[in-house]
Amino acid sequence: MLATTRGLRTLVTAIVGISVLVLAGCGDAGRRDAAPSGPGASTAPKLAIVYSPQFKDGSWGEAAITGAQKLKDSGVISDFAAQENINPGPDAERALRSFAEQGYNPIVAHSFNYGDNIKKVAKEFPNTIFAYPGGFGDVSENVADYSQPFHEATYLEGILAAGVTPGGTVAGAGGFDIPVCRAMYNAYLEGAKLVRPATTGTFVAVGDWSDVQKAKEAALAQADQGATMFVGCGQGPTFGQIQAAAERKAVASGYSGDMSGLSPAVLASFTWNLDKIFGEMVGDVAAGKVNPTRYFEVGMAKGGLSVVISPEWQAKVPAEVKATFDKKTAEITSGAFVVPLNDK
């Protein structure tokens, strides 16, 4: 059985551990905004990340730290620094400015809520690349955004869900009713229809990215209307759905990280492999660029996303469904099939 809202948050934090990487004060270091090193430079770039909740959340935030660590381990970056629990606004601007003064480049603010802060600070450091996950193609001067093509992965999760459930509808939920969340739900539904063509579903906006109990109540209401397959957008909606699915003997999906350890109700998860996205940013810095490319649609074809079937379910997926899943996975990865983006 899953824990309560507060208990689940504690459980996730305890499982993965708490890691607070504290931003060093700039002291008397002064402003450092040198042009990025060229291809012949001996020192690899240093990456910095700012995040509003805690990084070790088993989901969105942890994907960022995992991606940065992979780049460091492979030598693509010389080091990385990160600061969590930074609210958008003046706190974020101070953190971003301090990282820039210390010579970090690129600098990532890992929430679309930081968009205005990024744009303000970036003007002060024109030789530093700043990025945030706006997902709108918001590229100007030395500011870029990076998208979340999560719909590619949820399409595959929908195939699996319809294959292991005898009937029922799809229940989608997001922290808010935004395009990326709608796209995730719509793609999941289309994947389910590939196995069970008559499948229908509903989508709800919880109104919060982190309130697990509120999300669980919404999911239970959907279950009362016949939902057996749950797909969430955001940590809170996903954790709440997992709790509801466990109680109602339904199936749920993990978001941005492998959540199979949370409950047997988790059929599959998608991982967000942010080393691929951050790697493109670092590559621009290493090449001496100050005007970033559009870090957009780094999806399955570029290794930016992976779908992981939970160990509990690997032997339970019918062979014909697994064959369809494998076929579509290969087609998406090769570019032979493009999952339609329907964010309405």
Q: Band the pLDDT of 33: cuts 50, 70, 90.
A: low
Bridge partners for 308 per DSSP: 269
More confident residue, 291 or 342: 342
**Residues 257-290: pLDDT tens digits?**
999 999 999 999 999 999 999 999 999 999 999 9
Q: Band the pLDDT of 291: cuts 50, 70, 90.
A: confident
Q: The whole model's pTM is what?
A: 0.85
Average pLDDT over residues 106-110: 97
Contacts of 280 (CB under 8 A, 6+ apart): 293, 295, 298
Q: Where are the domains of the chain?
A: 5-148+274-302, 151-272+305-333
Return mean pLDDT, the chain.
88
151-272+305-333 shares the fold of 5-148+274-302: yes
**Residues 44-64: pLDDT tens digits?**
999 999 999 888 888 999 999
Sign for the CA dihedral angle at 282, 53, 259, 321 comes to: negative
User: Can you read off the two tokens belonging to residue 21?
Assistant: 């990487």
Say yes or no to pLDDT of 135 above 70: yes
CATH topology of domain 151-272+305-333: Rossmann fold (3.40.50)
Could you check whether the bond before residue 179 is cis, i.e. omega within 30 degrees of 0?
no
> Right CATH number for 5-148+274-302 from 3.10.20.90, 3.40.50.2300, 3.40.50.1010, 3.30.360.10?
3.40.50.2300
Residues 303 and 279: beta-carbon distance below 8 Å: no
